[in-house]
Structure formats: structure tokens, C-alpha cells
Amino acid sequence: MTVNQILNAKGKNVYSVLTTTTVYEALKVMGEKNIGAILIIDGSELKGILSERDYARKIVLKDKSSKETFVDEIMESNVFTIKLSDNLENCMELMSTKRIRHLPVLEEGIVVGIISISDVVKAIIELQKDTINHLNSYISQ
């Protein structure tokens, strides 16, 4: 299964904010969209990613104000990305080894989607269901 197939099933919505957005404003968007991370994009360039974990560790635990701190001050700027043609195994390996939960999808430098660890898990479950169904039909023949 490829990233493109996962995105076709889940949708290619990408939510983002600018580097000049406050952490509070970014969190509001994340809450409204029910997402655990948001991309930071200026123009068409991916600048970083901000997760709930970043907020907890870099704002709450350091006693900073989310209304006075801009996302570019706490975002993760070293963002691991994937392509539409990447397969599920590559995504799992990257997420596991780098201990990350979200992977932006880039094609020719432009963000075209994002997948999360839950998207990967859902895809694995669907693949396993298909395998089980094929084995059951083979056995019952």
C-alpha cells in the first residue's frame, strides 16, 4: 500500500498556519479541526510542524504564554517527509525510528497531504483483514 492510497481513503486536507501565528491561535485551529499537529507553511514552503507534545513541553512546562509565543519559536523545524509513492513499510519504519507521529507528504516540494500514526495503523488493519479474508476463502474452497 502506498501513501497515495492512504490519502485517497482518508482525504488530502492539510491544515496549516504561518510562522507568525501565535501558539494559542495554532492550538485553536488544532482544536477546531480535531488534529494533534499542524503544519507551519509560509507561501508554499514547509517550515515546520507543531504538535500537542511541543506545546506541553515547550510552553506549559517552561511556564511560557501561548498567546505571546509564536509558533516558529517552538515548532519542530527538522521535519521528516514522505512522497505519494512511498509505501506503508517505509512510513512505519520512519515513524518508529524517529519517534514521530505525523508525516507531511511532499511532491516537488509542495505539501499535498499528511498522514498520522493512526492512518498507518488503520491501513495495516485493512491489509490484515484482506489477507484473512483471502486465506479464509482459500481454506473453504
What average pLDDT does range 80-102 have in this prediction? 96
What average pLDDT does range 99-128 have in this prediction? 94
Containing domain of residue 122, as a range? 3-139
What average pLDDT does range 47-75 have in this prediction? 95
pLDDT grade for 134, boundaries at 50, 70 and 90: confident
Residue 30 has a pLDDT of 97
The domain tally of the chain equals 1
pLDDT grade for 98, boundaries at 50, 70 and 90: very high
pTM exceeding 0.75 = yes
CATH number at residue 25: 3.10.580.10
pLDDT grade for 137, boundaries at 50, 70 and 90: confident
- Strand 110-116 relative to strand 102-107, pairing: antiparallel
- Residue 116, pLDDT above cutoff 90: yes
